[in-house]
Amino acid sequence: MKILITGGASGLAASIVRRLAAENGNTVYFTFSRSATAAKEIEALYPNAHSIKCDFTDPSSIEDMLTQIPAIDPDVLINNANGGIHKDHFYKTDHTVFAKSFEQNIIPTIRITQEAIKGFRKKKFGKIINIISSYVVNKPPTGLSEYVANKAYLLSLSKSWANELIRFNITSNSISPSFMLTGLTADTDERVIEQMTEAHPLKKILTTEEVADTVLFLTGASQHINGMNLLMNAGSDVV
Ligand SMILES: NC(=O)c1ccc[n+]([C@@H]2O[C@H](COP(=O)([O-])OP(=O)(O)OC[C@H]3O[C@@H](n4cnc5c(N)ncnc54)[C@H](OP(=O)(O)O)[C@@H]3O)[C@@H](O)[C@H]2O)c1
């Protein structure tokens, strides 16, 4: 399979790229923004992994990316990249923060997905996998309204894609992981991590490798699995 993943050189996606590239028959194309060195390291380890520079804050970089998608001709698109989190109470957050974040996270994701869908429709096959967050189901943490709202928007898009595209044998599913230790969460206080671990139904924090295994499952899953949001929160919304 030819797999395209956004933001594949670092964090969760680096585990996903490694997991998918280790499978025979896969070719993995992954984007990077700041992690050029890490991208090169992954390419050195996996000859079937290829990096592409794409910075969601730079319109010309997004245009370049879009022109490359037809030649990649992906079978699977994984929407993973996220350009950071604005942390503040909603009432203190300037409205421009929401507009900018939407422009730099959601719009590039929409444009890349639209380009991938053109090829999916031609070959009557495709899989879209969106990385969301358990916060769209669990209690959203204080100070993350911009981040959680964007994730809810993407989850809604995923359902619309699932509905509109299944007649072309194209599926759209989401994975909603709970807290993981990555660059995104690197500034989390050690004591907060201890509290989260204690409160966790499994008494352990989700790992990026566990999510990568779930992505691998979805890349090989039946097209009858469509419109799902696989929550990886150990059932913490029901336990
Ligand atoms: N960590 C968690 O607890 C958690 C939980 C649930 C869901 N998620 C989701 O999992 C996904 C991956 O997050 P992560 O935890 O791996 O965070 P991360 O370590 O901060 O990684 C973010 C990824 O997005 C890319 N990125 C950042 N700025 C970008 C830009 N301007 N243009 C293009 N790409 C950019 C990064 O690429 P470069 O490194 O190359 O810049 C990196 O690969 C995100 O969608 C996040 O919302 C994370």
pLDDT in tens, 123-172: 999 999 999 999 999 999 999 999 999 999 999 999 999 999 999 999 99
pLDDT in tens, 80-111: 999 888 999 999 999 999 999 999 999 999 99
Q: Which two tokens stand for residue 4?
A: 């395209």
Query: Separation of 37 CA from ligand 1 center, angstroms?
Result: 16
Q: Which two tokens stand for residue 218?
A: 């979805």
Domain 2-232 in CATH 3.40.50.10140: no
CA of 79, closest atom in ligand 1? 45
Whether the per-residue pLDDT at 55 is higher than 90: the answer is yes
The average pLDDT across 20-49 equals: 98
CA of 134, closest atom in ligand 1? 6
Beta bridge partners of 28: 3, 49
Q: Is the pTM of this model over 0.95?
A: yes
Query: Separation of 131 CA from ligand 1 center, angstroms?
Result: 10
Give residue ranges with CB within 6 A of ligand 1. 7, 9-13, 32-35, 54-57, 80-83, 131, 133, 177, 179-180, 182-185
Query: Separation of 48 CA from ligand 1 center, angstroms?
Result: 22
pLDDT in tens, 144-155: 999 999 999 999
Question: Looking at residue 87, what is its pLDDT?
Answer: 94
3-class secondary structure, 25: coil
Ranges assigned E (strand) in the chain: 2-5, 27-32, 49-53, 76-79, 126-131, 170-177, 229-232
CA of 181, closest atom in ligand 1? 1
Residue extents of the structural domains in the chain: 2-232
Q: Which two tokens stand for residue 211?
A: 């999510």
Residues counted in the chain: 239
